[in-house]
Amino acid sequence: MTSSETNTTTSMPGTSAPDPAELTAWFDAHARDLPWRAPTTTGWGVLVSETMLQQTPVRRVQPVWEEWMARWPRPSDLAAATQAEVLRAWGKLGYPRRALRLHEAASVIATEHGDVVPAEVDALLALPGVGTYTARAVAAFAYGRRAPVVDTNVRRVVARAVHGAGDAGPPAPKRDLADVEALLPADDARAAKMSAALMELGQTVCTVRSPACEACPISHDCAWQHAGRPAYAGPPKKVQRFAGTDRQVRGRLLDVLRGADGPVTREQLDAVWNDAGQRDQCLDSLLTDGLMEQTQDGRFALPGES
């Protein structure tokens, strides 16, 4: 197949379609040597990496992923661990509910899928903590399936290269998926590589703040380039506050428990935040979320260690 056969929209005003051959050739030459990309990595290893990478940068994930793979090489290994062990091993990756959901997913995989991460998107979507992105990422990256992968990086690459916009607007799941679907070659292997290449391009070249267009393999065919790289003109992006939020308080409370050998007293938890009302509310929500437990004598502990 020639590139012209897949570039069906290049003649439309204001749009372009990246050439899969150019993108995948660039990926072969420039992809970072990330451990979960090793050919020996199992579906389990990919699922763990994708879960850890949800909203957490590669640099912080890498050492933790290595530890997890050495300690829990199969889903059944993780399933056999306690929640407290899992939460401590998760460390400070953030959003610790991801760790509990991955723990649950490991049990499901062990008992219902023969200890092998499923390759079908629908089966993956049924797992706790696996959403539309992660399901397709595992299908594509672990099993070489043609599954459109839409993350923040891909949305940005598509916004620029295809639509000529400075950045992606608010997520529009149906349209975003259709956009990527239209870019992928028909066969599994090349589609999977194209998905990986789109993500890698967005992470390392087509970045938010300082895109390295001179190093981009598809800049010659980029609608944003051709339009003179106009600034983002969409609705302003929502800013996530952190200082003073429950998220910060919960993080501090949980950090006390991670650092302790066993149950801690309420006084130890009281010390990390001075607003008693907010503190108690966060304590309650952590208990509700199953991220901590209260012992019979009224102390607090990570789940499964008391």
Partner DNA sequence: AACGCGTGGGC
Partner DNA sequence: TGCCCAAGCGT
Residues annotated catalytic, as ranges: 50
Which residues of the chain form beta strands (DSSP E)? 293-294, 300-301
Question: Is 247 one of the binding residues for DNA (CB under 7 A)?
Answer: yes
Tokens of 250: 């919960």
Closer residue to DNA (CB): 15 or 281:
281
Is residue 70 close enough to count as binding DNA by CB under 7 A? no
Task: Give the interface segment with DNA, choosing from 148-156, 180-188, 267-275, 295-303 (CB under 7 A).
Answer: 148-156
Pick the closer one to DNA by CB: 214 or 297: 214
Q: Which of 117, 194, 254, 264 binds DNA (CB under 7 A)?
A: 254
Q: How far is the CB of 291 from DNA (least distance, A)?
A: 7
Q: How far is the CB of 41 from DNA (least distance, A)?
A: 11
Q: In angstroms, what CA-CA distances link 153 with 4, 130, 133, 276, 278?
A: 25, 18, 12, 40, 35
CB 136 within 8 A of CB 150: yes
Question: Does residue 275 touch DNA according to CB under 7 A?
Answer: no
Query: Considering CB under 7 A, how many residues would be counted as binding DNA?
Result: 55
What are the angstrom distances between the C-alpha of 185 and each of 71, 228, 250, 285, 305? 38, 28, 45, 46, 50
Residue where the block lists tokens 């499901």: 108
Indicate whether 47 belongs to the interface with DNA (CB under 7 A). no
**Could you tell me the smallest distance in angstroms from the CB atom of residue 203 to DNA?**
4
**Cα–Cα distances in Å, from 305 out to 78, 251, 294?**
16, 19, 10
Mask: binding to DNA, 3-32, rule CB under 7 A, as x and -? ------------------------------
Task: Give every CB contact of residue 38 below 8 A, 6+ residues apart in sequence.
Answer: none
Q: Which is nearer to DNA, 3 or 56 (CB)?
A: 56
DSSP secondary structure letters along 225-252: HHTT-PPP-SSPPPP---TTSHHHHHHH
What residues contact 238, with CB distance under 8 A and at least 6 apart?
A: none
Q: How far apart are CA 109 and CA 111, in angstroms?
A: 6
- Shortest approach of DNA to residue 36 CB, angstroms? 6
Residue 130 binds DNA, judged by CB under 7 A: yes
Q: Is there binding between residue 237 and DNA (CB under 7 A)?
A: yes
Q: Judged by CB under 7 A, which of 83, 153, 219, 225 binds DNA?
A: 153
Q: Could you say whether residue 88 binds DNA (CB under 7 A)?
A: no
Whether 206 and 200 have beta carbons less than 8 Å apart is answered as no
DSSP 301: E
Residue 211 in contact with DNA, rule: CB under 7 A: no
**Residues at the site binding DNA, with contacts judged by CB under 7 A:** 34, 36-37, 49-50, 53-60, 92-97, 101, 128-135, 137, 151-153, 170, 199, 202-203, 207-209, 237-240, 242, 245-248, 250-252, 254-255, 285, 291
